[in-house]
Amino acid sequence: MRELTVEGIRKSIGGVEILKGVSLALKAGEVVALLGQSGSGKTTILRSVAGLETPDAGRILLGDRVVFDGSQQIALPPEKRGLGLVFQSYALWPHKTVRENVSYGLKLRKAGDEETKKKVDEVLERLGLGSMGERYPHQLSGGQQQRVALARALVYRPTVLLLDEPLSNLDAKLREEARAWIRELILRTRISALYVTHDQVEAMAVADRIMLLRGGEVEQEGSPQSVYEAPNSALVADFMGSNNHLSGRLVSVDGDFGTIEVAGGRLIGRMMGRSSIGDRITALIRIERVGIDRTRSENGLLLNLETALYLGERWEYVLAGPDARLRAWSTTPLAGQGQYWVDLPQDQLWLF
């Protein structure tokens, strides 16, 4: 069953088109990440679903209930939609205790005192906030505030949970821990979630499906693995990971593979776009796929080692030659200066 359906929503603000007809569907229990840079329209989609923005056109349905229909001039106010929303800033009410913050939604739904207490205790316990009920938000750490925000959005059991960059105010270490338990929590609660983020790692970690947005349109949609490993465009490839770029000319094509002339040598790579022979072409390869060795590589370039950076769990090397500058990772230190063969596996070298 579909919990949320968005059909072709459009929105312009001050003559600028923020959303150019975006559609999406959220199945029961599914987590979808809206991924994109700032200005891609991801937050506008979320706020339109919540009822905090009114699109110019399109339809939004929760289950089979129409909450927005541009052609019929229907727009339910946010309080009538029954959703849960976790804000980037958490938006905890500073004048209410944790318990008052969490129980507010139940109070509005006229739940009895006993029922309210039971549900609030339950959700606070589940989120590890059992002893925090009487505290005020400013007495909590960032991580605790973040969990209160989640508790507040979950306590009245909304059908769809909306999360707007919920982890971006946490420091890097905490963020890595939080994304694991937030995924667990969503799965355990069996709630459907729409998750907005600009961090591709977070999107891949948390979501069942990623919708990559660019300029108010969906650029690519699919499982985290497919978006990461089979990007539609160089832009998607660049957004999803850290890449090396080479610029060359396509000299021959054989099935899925093509040969390019680059930096004085020839390399074979996988054809990702529709280029024809003679075209200028961009070749991309993820940094983690680049190999580095003294011995000759079949599909590789001989480059000079320029810089070595020690990063703790690995080394990062910068190698350069005429018309080529590549980064590579290795867990072992290289034996001194000089020239190295940089191996670029043909399956991993994408030609766009």
Partner 1 sequence: MPSSAGTWGSLALPIARHPVRIAGVALVAIAVLAPIGLVLYQSLLSGPFFSPAVQFSGSAYGYVLNDPEFYYALRTSATIAVGMSAIALPLGALLAFLMTRTDLPGRFWMEPLLLSPVFLSPIVLAFGYVVSIGPVGFLSIWSKAALGFVPWNLYSLESLIIISGLTHVPHVYLYTSAALRSLNPEVEEAARTMGAGVWRVALTVSLPLVMPALVFSGVLVFLLGIEMFGLALILGDQSGITVLTTYLYKLTNLLGTPSYHLMAVIAIVIVALTLPLVVLQRHLLRHGNLYATVRGKGMSGRPLPLGAWRWVALSLVLFWLFATVVLPLSGLILRSFVSTWGEGISLWDVLTFGNYAELADYPNVVRGITNTVLLGGGGGAVAVAVYAAVALIGHRWPSRFVGVLDYLVMTPRALPGIIAGLAFLWLFLFVPFLTPFRSTLASLWLAYTVVWLAYGMRLISSALYQVGPELEEAARVAGAGQARVYRDVTLPLVKYGLLGSWLLIFMTFCREYSTGVYLLGPNTEVIGSLIISLFGSGGLDLISALSVINVLLISVGLLLALRLGVRLHA
**Residue 85 C-beta: closest distance to partner 1, Å:** 4
Nearer to partner 1, 133 or 158 (CB): 158
Do residues 3 and 26 lie in contact, with contact meaning Cβ atoms separated by under 8 Å? yes
Do residues 341 and 296 lie in contact, with contact meaning Cβ atoms separated by under 8 Å? yes
| Residue where the block lists tokens 């905490």 | 174
Residue 186: phi and psi, rounded to 5, are -65, -45
Phi-psi region of 8 (alpha: psi -120 to 50; beta: other; left: phi over 0): left
**Residue 115 C-beta: closest distance to partner 1, Å:** 16
Task: Name the amino acid, one letter, at 53.
Answer: E
Structure tokens given for 77:
């106010």
* DSSP codes of every residue in 175-187: HHHHHHHHHHHHH
Q: Three-state SS for 47?
A: helix
**Residue 348 C-beta: closest distance to partner 1, Å:** 43
Burial of 80 (0-12, 13-18, 19+ CB in 10 A): exposed
**Residue 169 C-beta: closest distance to partner 1, Å:** 12
Q: Report how far residue 49's alpha carbon sits from residue 38's, in angstroms, rounded to the nearest whole number.
A: 18
Nearer to partner 1, 101 or 220 (CB): 101
Nearer to partner 1, 142 or 264 (CB): 142
Residue 272: phi and psi, rounded to 5, are -110, -25
Nearer to partner 1, 123 or 218 (CB): 123
Nearer to partner 1, 78 or 222 (CB): 78
Nearer to partner 1, 101 or 244 (CB): 101
**Residue 143 C-beta: closest distance to partner 1, Å:** 19
**Residue 46 C-beta: closest distance to partner 1, Å:** 11
Task: Please name the helix (run of DSSP H) or strand (run of DSSP E) that holds residue 269, with its range, or none.
Answer: strand 265-271
> Which chain residues interact with partner 1 by CB under 8 A?
50-54, 66, 73-79, 81-85, 87-89, 91-95, 104-105, 108-109, 152-153, 156
Nearer to partner 1, 59 or 214 (CB): 59
Do residues 284 and 345 lie in contact, with contact meaning Cβ atoms separated by under 8 Å? no
**Residue 179 C-beta: closest distance to partner 1, Å:** 22
Task: Name the amino acid, one letter, at 73.
Answer: Q
Nearer to partner 1, 26 or 303 (CB): 26
Nearer to partner 1, 13 or 277 (CB): 13
Residue 123: phi and psi, rounded to 5, are -70, -35
Distances (CA, A) of 249 to 139, 157, 262: 60, 57, 7
**Residue 226 C-beta: closest distance to partner 1, Å:** 32
**Residue 106 C-beta: closest distance to partner 1, Å:** 9
Beta-carbon-side half-sphere exposure of residue 106 (alpha carbons within 13 Å): 23
